[in-house]
Amino acid sequence: ETGVTQTPRHLVMGMTNKKSLKCEQHLGHNAMYWYKQSAKKPLELMFVYNFKEQTENNSVPSRFSPECPNSSHLFLHLHTLQPEDSALYLCASAQQTNQPQHFGDGTRLSIL
Amino acid sequence: AQSVAQPEDQVNVAEGNPLTVKCTYSVSGNPYLFWYVQYPNRGLQFLLKYITGDNLVKGSYGFEAEFNKSQTSFHLKKPSALVSDSALYFCAVRDSGGYQKVTFGTGTKLQVIP
């Protein structure tokens, strides 16, 4: 139990679908992150939220849309994805941005 | 720009032997350094960090890492490897100055052979 819960754990969707990934943390942390993990590639930071404000958008395509309604929840809205977007999407949280991050177990996303 | 390198894709070690997983980094200022471990079908778990102070940092599950400023390295070590240590290990760095994102290495797969 890491304190960071991601749902769903697995998601298969077509390129024209719209879906959302959810992340929830009960650690009282102020920073939340979305990462993309693909085989044989470095972990890619996508978005950072600090005190509910987006502080980093790492040149992520607009078909990925984050939402942070409060400090405990983070969403990643998906729309018109491409096959190369198939990956493990990891959410993480931290007390502050210079502190260790706590990761969820990820959502394995497959685009047909 | 900051970067981190893990030169070995895989490290094999016999159970009971000491293990080392290598990491070198590059930052413009002083580094914050981290090691994480990832087991299959799980997220990353924090092992240890170096912020300042003693160059030898002790972490979870008997792991430790040594910060070497002159060699810009932060190698992960354990005196006696267990089969259960087999996993993917990530080194990460961020510059201590101002706001900077954390940069992760590509990961090293550790295989402990019974």
Comparing CA positions, the residue from B102, B86, B53 lying closest to residue A45 is B102
Q: Distance, in angstroms, between A19 CA and closest chain B CA?
A: 21
pLDDT given at position A26: 92
Q: Is residue A80 over pLDDT 90? A: yes
pLDDT given at position A95: 93
Whether the Cβ atoms of residue A93 and residue A4 lie closer than 8 Å to each other: yes
Q: Is residue A15 over pLDDT 90? A: no
Q: Is residue B28 over pLDDT 90? A: no
A105 close contact with B: CB closer than 8 A: yes
pLDDT given at position A56: 81
Q: How confident is the model over A10-31, as a mean pLDDT? A: 94
pLDDT given at position B95: 83
A2 close contact with B: CB closer than 8 A: yes
How many angstroms separate the CA atoms of A45 and A43, rounded?
7
B29 close contact with A: CB closer than 8 A: no
Q: In whole angstroms, how far apart are CA B2 and each of A18, A39, A76, A85, B102?
A: 35, 22, 27, 26, 9
Q: Is residue B98 over pLDDT 80? A: no
Calculate the average pLDDT of chain B: 93
